[in-house]
Amino acid sequence: MARAARRRAARHQPPGRTRRAEVHRLRPAPQSPTVVSDGLTPSPPDAHDASMTAPFTSSARGGLPTAVLAMSAAFLVYDQSTAINVLLPPLQQEFAASRAELEWAVNAYSLSFAAVMLGAGALVDVWGARRVFLIGMGIFAVCCAGCAVAPTMLLLILALLLLGIGAALLIPSSLVLATASATTPQQRTKNVAMWASSGGIGMSAGPLLGGALTEMGSWKLMFWFHAAIAAVSALAGARLLPTVARVPHPLDVPGQIAATLAFGGLVFALVQSADQGLSPMVLGAFAVAVVGVIAFVVIESRVAAPLMPLAVWRNRVFLGASLQGALWNLALYGLLFALGLLLQTGMSMSVLHSSLMFLPLTIAILVGNLTVSRITEAIDRVDHLLAGAQTVFALSLLGLAWAGWSQSIWGIIVAMIPAGFASGLLVPTMTTQSLATVPRELHGAASAAFNTLRQVGGSIGVAVFGILLGSELDAGFARCLIAAAAATVVAAVLTPLTQRPRRAA
């Protein structure tokens, strides 16, 4: 009787309860968080390797030390990328460096960073995050020490070129370690957020830290400081870092070589054309870049495990966001390069004073990062947010052009605040858009492509602005900022052409 009553009760169970049970069974497993970057740092590579999708375990080895080491890597990589801008005049004085050599001091790091970033994620999959992290941190420590003891500008540039390789290895490996050390989805989200914030803090602190250390003694102290942190991190990592699951698959070595030739040839041609014009060497470098691009497209269409699947470029929203990211990097990295030279060489500021002038920009970027989600919800249209922030950024660049030409310190400070705030809104939004319509299985490739194109855009910006600066820095700075505003206007025009009027989530 009791059994028959239970059967009758099951037949008459309220339909709502059944639907809730079915929904619970069909709900997908939690995925790794999609994290957007701050205004300056590249967005974290998407978690497409085993460590990011492996189940959580309570026995994750060295959780807190691993997270701290991962955050130190993010801080080092992005601190170095901006600190170099305030070191340019001291380098020019010590080595009697030409404008082209100063451009290479900035571009050598970002160029190798961009080129190797494409394949670094695959190396993490194949070799394991721990090994790649230790190799990257070792390279970073040795190359920073090499920069500090370099007797010539040429050797310094070569050391910076190798330093960029170490940085590219650290980014995906440190992110994987940060997430693998988590034991719950909530801890994973927290670790990734702290990792991204560490990069943003490093990027913001770079000019101030570089200026303070140079003022204390020499520009070499900046590199010794980074070398010390990297050495301690490598030694600690060898003892404390866990081993993360690997996913063996073929490495696209030909694609990596073709991409490096394309990026290197283009940037070399742009930098050297400032001194040599369209010389045979410059034309040859352009030819190498063209051949590299063609070879890369052919290789990626044929290999089994391409670095950058061509399918992602057929996505209009992704393509538009990536081009906008490259144009933003072109404008901002060019601004940082030109502003450092204007303040110290054109306006005779000390290294420390000039580094303090960057604070309104970097602080405003952080404020933009903190408020972007609320502003997106209030506007409720991502395309409107993009277009509005790009308009503010372009107008701020024009204001900076006037302030630099008139050498108005307060004009520079005031104009950098809206420029930084708009940047803090733009990059997280562009990063989100770059992945919004890409299939989940292509998120890793799309994230690598987006970050790489941004780094290439920054290298092109420094090279082009080096040409536009000329010998009269005030007028040259104005030319650079007008060009940056023009690039931003192009990015704004791309918004209605490529970005769907998607409402905020």
Q: Over the stretch 472-501, which tens digit does the pLDDT of each residue have?
A: 888 889 999 999 999 999 999 998 888 665
Q: Residue 15: inside a domain, yes or no? A: no
* Residue 266: domain span: 252-304
- DSSP 3-state assignment of 184? coil
Q: Residue 5: inside a domain, yes or no? A: no
Evaluate whether 41 touches 329 at the Cβ level (below 8 Å).
no
* pLDDT band, residue 447 (cuts 50/70/90): confident
Across the range 402-429, mean pLDDT stands at 90
pLDDT at 46 over 60: no
| Number of folded domains that form the chain | 3
Q: Residue 18: inside a domain, yes or no? A: no
Across the range 14-22, mean pLDDT stands at 39
Evaluate whether 417 touches 364 at the Cβ level (below 8 Å).
yes
Tell me: do 132 and 215 sit in the same domain.
Answer: yes
For residue range 374-415, what is the model confidence (pLDDT) as tens digits? 888 787 778 888 889 999 999 999 999 999 898 889 999 999
Tell me: do 334 and 225 sit in the same domain.
Answer: no
Tell me: do 450 and 327 sit in the same domain.
Answer: yes
> What DSSP designation does 503 have?
P
pTM, full prediction: 0.75
Does residue 8 or residue 95 have the better pLDDT?
Answer: 95
Contacts for 131 with CB less than 8 Å, ≥ 6 apart: none
Q: Residue 140: inside a domain, yes or no? A: yes
Across the range 327-354, mean pLDDT stands at 87
Render 383-414 in DSSP notation, one character per residue: HHHHHHHHHHHHHHHHHHHHHHHHT-HHHHHH
Share of the chain above pLDDT 70, in %: 83
Rounded to whole angstroms, the Cα distance separating 385 from 332 reads: 19
* pLDDT band, residue 145 (cuts 50/70/90): very high
* pLDDT band, residue 251 (cuts 50/70/90): confident
* pLDDT band, residue 253 (cuts 50/70/90): confident
Tell me: do 231 and 266 sit in the same domain.
Answer: no
Predicted pLDDT at 501: 57
Across the range 365-381, mean pLDDT stands at 81
Tell me: do 107 and 132 sit in the same domain.
Answer: yes
Predicted pLDDT at 247: 66
Evaluate whether 272 touches 78 at the Cβ level (below 8 Å).
no
**CATH number of domain containing 177:** 1.20.1250.20
Tell me: do 79 and 151 sit in the same domain.
Answer: yes
Evaluate whether 115 touches 264 at the Cβ level (below 8 Å).
yes
Residue with structure tokens 């204390």? 216
Predicted pLDDT at 449: 79
Across the range 311-333, mean pLDDT stands at 87
Tell me: do 410 and 479 sit in the same domain.
Answer: yes
Tell me: do 203 and 291 sit in the same domain.
Answer: no
Q: What is the CA radius of gyration of the chain?
A: 24
CA distances from 233 to 65, 68, 89 (A): 10, 9, 30
Tell me: do 204 and 288 sit in the same domain.
Answer: no
Rounded to whole angstroms, the Cα distance separating 219 from 241 reads: 32
For the chain, give the mean pLDDT.
80
Q: Which of 239, 262, 295 is the last residue of a domain?
A: 239
* Residue 206 token pair: 């770079």
Across the range 127-138, mean pLDDT stands at 91
Predicted pLDDT at 142: 96
Tell me: do 490 and 348 sit in the same domain.
Answer: yes
For residue range 159-214, what is the model confidence (pLDDT) as tens digits? 999 999 999 899 888 888 887 777 777 777 677 777 877 877 887 788 888 888 98
Does residue 30 or residue 116 have the better pLDDT?
Answer: 116
- Residue environment code for 158-177, b if the CB has 16+ CB neighbours within 10 A, otherwise e: bbbbbbbbbbbbbbbbbbbb
Evaluate whether 187 touches 32 at the Cβ level (below 8 Å).
no
Render 282-294 in DSSP notation, one character per residue: HHHHHHHHHHHHH
Rounded to whole angstroms, the Cα distance separating 52 from 31 reads: 9
Tell me: do 284 and 332 sit in the same domain.
Answer: no
How many Cα neighbours within 13 Å face the side chain of 497?
A: 10
Rounded to whole angstroms, the Cα distance separating 432 from 100 reads: 35
Tell me: do 134 and 74 sit in the same domain.
Answer: yes
Predicted pLDDT at 141: 96
Q: Residue 340: inside a domain, yes or no? A: yes
Q: Residue 6: inside a domain, yes or no? A: no
